[in-house]
Structures are given as C-alpha cells and as structure tokens.
Amino acid sequence: MGIGPYGYAGRPMRPPGSYKIASRSRAFDALLDPRLRGARRVRRIVESLRDQIVDGGQEAGLRIRRVFTTPREIFRVEIERPELGYQRTTLLDREALEALLAVDDVRARVRSHLG
C-alpha cells in the first residue's frame, strides 16, 4: 500500500479471487440437488415478476400469452415500463404462472390490463 497523490494511503489491493458474495444462501446452491436448485430459482423469478407487476403502476404494460401447448404449456410474460426504458420478457410453465397469479394484487393487475 503506497501513498497516493494527495498524501493519503492508497486503497489496499484486494487479493485475486476475493469477491463479495451477493447472497450467501445462493453460494451453496451448487451443492444442492439440481431439482431443488431449479425450484428455488423458479421461486426467485416468480417473486421478482410479482414485485415488478405490483410496483409497476398503471402505466406499466403487461402481457401474458400462451406460446406453446405441447409438449407442455409455456407462457410469455412481458412487462414494459416506458418511463424507465425497461422491458422484461420471461417464459413460464403453467405451474409457475399459477404461482404468479396466486397473489390477489397480481390477478387484479392482470384483470385491469385485460379490460
């Protein structure tokens, strides 16, 4: 650690490979069963979508369309926030979509965009 141009000690260098872990609970996901790891990931995605739909306000665009029916149903969820220049597209299966629509606030928002 040397002296910087203003007479103060410079910022200490971080040793290679030492990075801040964003979420300690996810640090051990690689050790889990792949099905459990996938289920946790789907739950985080659905929670994130739910938060964006509920917090989006009436000006946010929301579309849900069925893309595939076989071999299983897949739905496309599109969230658009023009004031932020933001658009998100996520593909969900029937089970994940039902989990998303299980919250009353989300169902009310979807109904308001339908009619």
Are 77 and 100 contacting, i.e. CB atoms less than 8 angstroms apart? Answer: yes
Domain boundaries, the chain: 31-114
Token pair for residue 59?
A: 């000006």
Q: Provide the angle, in degrees to the nearest 10, between the axes of the packed helices 34-55 and 104-114.
A: 60
Instruction: pLDDT band for 22, please (50, 70, 90 cuts).
Output: low
**For residue 107, how many C-alpha atoms fall within 13 Å in the half-sphere facing its CB?**
6
List, for residues 34-61, the tens digit of each pLDDT value: 888 888 889 999 999 998 888 876 667 8
List, for residues 54-111, the tens digit of each pLDDT value: 887 666 788 999 998 888 899 999 998 888 788 999 999 999 999 999 988 888 888 8
pLDDT tops 90 at residue 23: no
Residue of higher predicted confidence among 88 and 29: 88
Token pair for residue 23?
A: 């979420």
Domain boundaries 31-114, corresponding CATH code: 3.30.720
User: What pTM was estimated for this model as a whole?
Assistant: 0.67
What torsion do the CA atoms of 97, 98, 100, 105 make, to the nearest 10 degrees?
130
Single out the residue of 112, 114, 107, 93 nearest to residue 50, CA to CA.
Answer: 107
Single out the residue of 102, 101, 90 nearest to residue 41, CA to CA.
Answer: 90
